[in-house]
A and B are shown apart, each in its own frame.
Chain A
Amino acid sequence: MLNPIQVLCSDITTLSLEAKQSANYTEADIISTVEFNQTGELLATGDKGGRVVIFQREPESKNEPYCQGEYNVYSTFQSHEPEFDYLKSLEIEEKINKIRWLPQQNAAHFLLSTNDKTIKLWKVSERDKRPEGYNLKDEEGRMKDLSTVTSLQVPVLKPMDLMVEVSARRIFANGHTYHVNSISVNSDCETYMSADDLRINLWHLGITDRSFNIVDIKPANMEELTEVITAAEFHPHHCNLFVYSSSKGSLRLCDMRASALCDKHAKLFEEPEDPNNRSFFSEIISSISDVKFSHSGRYLLTRDYLTTKVWDLNMENKPIETYQVHDYLRSKLCSLYENDCIFDKFECAWNGSDSVIMTGAYNNFFRMFDRNTKRDVTLEASRESSKPRAVLKPRRVCAGGKRRKDDISVDSLDFTKKILHTAWHPAENIIAIAATNNLYIFQDKVNSEMH
């Protein structure tokens, strides 16, 4: 069912270009998170302006087989607003840091969205019928003059144009002193965790005034602070296990059965640093920016500045696979430090079968690595190369040496065009790429030809 990357990289087509068409964008339009739901039917994006846009995949049409599966806007709403903490004289950004969908349990969809401080649970529901024939109200909603009511009628539900309603069901506020960087829904579908720089809290989805602190790495004396939490995720199947990554490049697997406060890890995944690569910036580039469990739950995928690594939960002393994303930047770390690019937090993603991993890079390039064949490909998400139905051409970055035609040299990379957020459909070969203010959705051509 799922095609290997060989087909993926050569025949990947643009499914639909859901781009905000303006070339001049405001900072508020920059997409800050992308997430498919568990079925892949819905795709949510959050931006720096605090808005969430949900796309829905159109059902396949038998008449036009090539139009199947396009994602169209389903709903847009303002999730978070800028706030001001008067006590600390701090502005709280409305940027959506993460969105996570809850597994669907009824007709409505639920998602969690978070900014730096507050997590919100949103209910997304459809309304396609409305009641008509009230006794006391007329069609416009005004109260009827009772003297005109001579008989009783039973209101009936009549079809109406589909309306998508979004409402905030829970607001989980005041749980964090530091900036929230991750949220993760537990497989028990009742709890979720939120992680900030120094603490991780466990919440119940139904209770907003209380949360449990399960990890606290804040030292008694802040002068001794050496690392912060950068990402956290629950295990996809075991509701007692979760992992969190640190700025020092280590991963800790914790078991909530062991104790209420999981400061002591069950497993520590850490690779010793290569002394040959030591530089001023070694600590920065070893900081893990994202961690994802594989769908199987057996592996962990991490991303640091230059590499992405696959870890086996059963082996703690080193990753089982390391992929160089853009090693040609290693000699340019100083300039990247100056222009702040070295602090960019790239995300990573698994495909549905855990055979291919994907992550973003600069110049609107993104990379995919096939774990089985060890082949990799670099593709570009750009308006020019992504006309609908166009096939993406693999790109190459030339770091000196023989330069082929169409190669991009390292010095001509555009570091303002970075792909930090990517998502892979849970089952099919459909990927969503956020490039600044544009969202690109690519699909495997072979996949679409099968229909």
Chain B
Amino acid sequence: MEYKVEAHRIMSISLGKIYNSRVQRGGIKLHKNLLVSLVLRSARQVYLSDYYGGACLGSQRAEAGEWAEGETMESLEGRSSPGAAGADSCESETESRETLRAPETNAQASVEVAAERNAEEPASSSDYNWPQGGETDEERAPGQAEDSTQVPSCPVPESRFECGAANADEGPQSPAAAAPCCTRKRSAGKSPYAGSPVKRPRPGSVPPANTEGGDASEDMDTGNVSSLITIFGSSFSGLLSKDGAQAEPGAADGDSGSGTICCEQMLPNLSPWSTAIVAF
């Protein structure tokens, strides 16, 4: 467990360095930021893999494993193209959620990125989208059961895991039970379903960070944090956004606006993130 704490600490230090580099005299130092991003990526990998090995279903469940579960979920949910449209609304619904969603979306984004790397998943990712807000409990039940199996792949999975497990255990009541779990992180008036974890993003949807960032203004957190994780999950592009000397057209263009905000929002979000983990 101490590895995770250490990795988490290193990640926050690294993000702080990247943020500070934007205001340093002489412009952004490409070499130093590259090294910091490598450390950040290593720490993130340890953080995620440590989670897999620790809390959930054993270290055997590597990233490849999550897709197997995902496919199971796919058959259970039986969603494909109808889900696509649903996913859109689902996603925008997600955008309007509060900070708890940030780590969740993080997880999703990182999972999504990892998934991109591991699996040639076509755009049936809509299968992994969270069931619609208007879903009935019966439809939810299988979704919740899947939640618990999907949970391992999320970095903030403990919260989801417990939520999901609680949901699975309690069946139809579980949305209500889940709601209190997550309510304190959610704004009033949201549907209980909104708080339920495990929204699977479509692989194709995350890269346009500007879309996410440009959405609901109140939730810059969600979009930017997920895009930040995407940035560091995929590679180095996120560091280029602010530095005119190094920015390349088309390389992480979408990050340019959200980049600074990412860091700014990420740093405070790291604390609630860990708080959420501990709480759940």
Contacts and interface: CB of A to CB of B under 8 A. Distances in A.
Q: Which of B234, B235, B240, B252 is packed against the most chain A CB atoms within 10 Å?
A: B235
Interface stretch (A73-81, A280-288, A381-389): A280-288
A116 B26 contact: yes
Interface stretch (A39-47, A85-93, A150-158): A85-93
Contacts of B32: 343
Please report whether the interface of chain A is mostly helix, strand, loop or mixed according to DSSP.
Answer: loop
Nearest to A225: B236
Contacts, number: 91
B13 A221 contact: no
A224 B235 contact: yes
B85 interface: no
Contact of A223 (B38, B42, B237): B237
Contact of A178 (B30, B43, B234): B30
A324 interface: no
Interface stretch (B115-123, B150-158, B165-173, B243-251): B243-251
Interface string B27-63: 1011110110011001100100000000000000000
A178 B34 contact: no
A343 B38 CA distance: 13
A261 interface: no
A91 B251 contact: no
Contacts of A222: 236-237, 240, 246, 248, 251-252
A198 B248 CA distance: 13
Q: Which of B7, B43, B236 is packed against the most chain A CB atoms within 10 Å?
A: B236
B245 A90 contact: yes
Nearest to A224: B235
B30 A280 contact: no
Nearest to B46: A280
B31 A197 contact: yes
Nearest to A177: B245
A240 B237 CA distance: 35
A344 to B, nearest CB: 11
A224 B43 CA distance: 19
B31 A223 contact: no
Contact of B251 (A85, A92, A221, A340): A221
Given A88-B244, A222-B240, A281-B39, A338 B26 contact: no
Contacts of B252: 222-223
A338 B27 contact: no
A247 interface: yes
Contacts of B236: 222-226
Interface in A226-260: 226-228, 230, 247
B237 A177 contact: no
A223 B235 CA distance: 5
Nearest to A282: B42
A182 B237 CA distance: 25
A323 B34 CA distance: 26
Interface in A83-129: 85, 87-93, 95, 116
B114 interface: no
B246 to A, nearest CB: 7
A198 B35 CA distance: 15
Interface string A332-355: 001001101001000000000000
Contacts of B25: 91, 93
Contacts of A343: 32, 35
Given A222-B236, A247-B31, A283-B38, 19 more contacts: A87-B244, A88-B243, A88-B244, A90-B26, A90-B27, A91-B25, A92-B26, A93-B26, A116-B26, A177-B246, A197-B30, A198-B30, A222-B240, A223-B235, A225-B236, A227-B34, A280-B39, A334-B6, A337-B13
Interface of B: 6-7, 10, 13, 17, 25-27, 29-32, 34-35, 38-39, 42-43, 46, 234-237, 240, 243-246, 248, 251-252
23 contacts: A88-B243, A88-B244, A88-B245, A90-B27, A90-B243, A92-B26, A116-B27, A179-B29, A179-B30, A197-B31, A198-B30, A222-B251, A222-B252, A224-B235, A224-B236, A226-B34, A230-B31, A247-B35, A284-B38, A284-B39, A337-B13, A338-B13, A343-B32
